[in-house]
Amino acid sequence: MQKTLSSRPLALHATAASILAYAWSRIGTLPFDELISKQKGGHLQFLTIQALVGAWAYMGLCLVWDLFPGVRQLGLIRSVKRMLLMVALPLAFVVTSIYWSLYFFFPKLILRPENSFAGAQDSPSPSPTLVRPPLHVDMAMHVAPFVTVLADFLAFERKLSSWQLNKSAPITLLLYGILYACWVEYCSSHNGVFPYPFLTINPPEGRAVVYACVTALAFISLRFLNCLHA
C-alpha cells in the first residue's frame, strides 16, 4: 500500500517534467524564434518561458525528492523546494490567466502580427494576420505549468503556513516582480520593442502599472490557491 501511494507523486512528477521538457524543446519551432533568439534576453524576456523554466525546475526537484528519500533530511533542499513552489505556482497562474484571457478577447495585445517578423511593428497593415502557435505547443506552455504545479501542491504538498503566506511569499514575489520589470526594460532598451505587444503600446507609467498589477495578481492568486488546499 505504501509503495502504491509513493508511486503516485513519482508518476505525476515524471509526467509533468516530460511535458514541460517537450514544451521547452518546441521553443525553436515557434513563430519568430529566429528573430527573438537574436534579441537581447532571447526567449527569457517572456514571463511564459520563465514560468515554464520555474515549473520544470520545481518538478525536477520533486523527482529528486521522490527518487532519493535521503535528501528529505537536508534542510536546504527542503527550503529551496518550498521557495520554488511559492514562485512557480503563482507565476504559472499569472501566465495562464493573462495569456488565455488576452488570447480569446484581445489577441492583438498578446500575439504578434505576421509583419512584425520583418520588424514592422511601427507600421502594421490595416488588418494584420496574427500568428498563433500550434495548439498542442500552446497548451504545453500556457496550461501545463500551472495545472501540474497546482496538482502537486493540492495532492502532495503541505498548505503554506501563515508565516510563508504573509511574510516570505510577499517579499519573494515583490522581488521577483521588480527584477522582471528591470530585466524587461533593460532588454527593450536594446531591442527597441517589448516581448509582449501590451507592454510595447504602453508608456513607462503604464508599464509600471502593469508590472504592479501582475505582481499583485501573483500574490492574490497564491493566497486563493492556498485556501483551496485542504
Tens digits of residue pLDDT in 161-214? 999 999 999 999 999 999 999 999 999 999 999 999 999 999 999 999 999 999
Rounded distance, CA 40 to CA 94, Å?
24
Residue in this structure with the C-alpha cell 532588454, named with its chain if needed: 187
Task: Please give the tally of structural domains in the chain.
Answer: 1
Q: CB-side exposure of 226: number of CA atoms within 13 Å? A: 19
- Residue-number span of the structural domain to which 11 is assigned: 2-118+131-228
Q: Which helix (H) or strand (E) holds 186?
A: helix 169-191
- Over residues 77-111, the pLDDT tens digits come to 889 999 999 999 999 999 999 999 999 999 999 99
Q: Is residue 205 part of a domain?
A: yes
User: Which of 89, 91, 9 is closest to 50 using CA atoms?
Assistant: 91
Q: Is residue 161 part of a domain?
A: yes
Q: Which helix (H) or strand (E) holds 96?
A: helix 75-105
Q: Is residue 64 part of a domain?
A: yes
Q: Is residue 123 part of a domain?
A: no
Q: Is residue 124 part of a domain?
A: no
Q: Is residue 184 part of a domain?
A: yes
Q: Is residue 126 part of a domain?
A: no
What would the grid cell of residue 93 be? 497562474
Q: Report which residue type is found at 73.
A: Q
Give this prediction's pTM: 0.91
Q: Is residue 125 part of a domain?
A: no
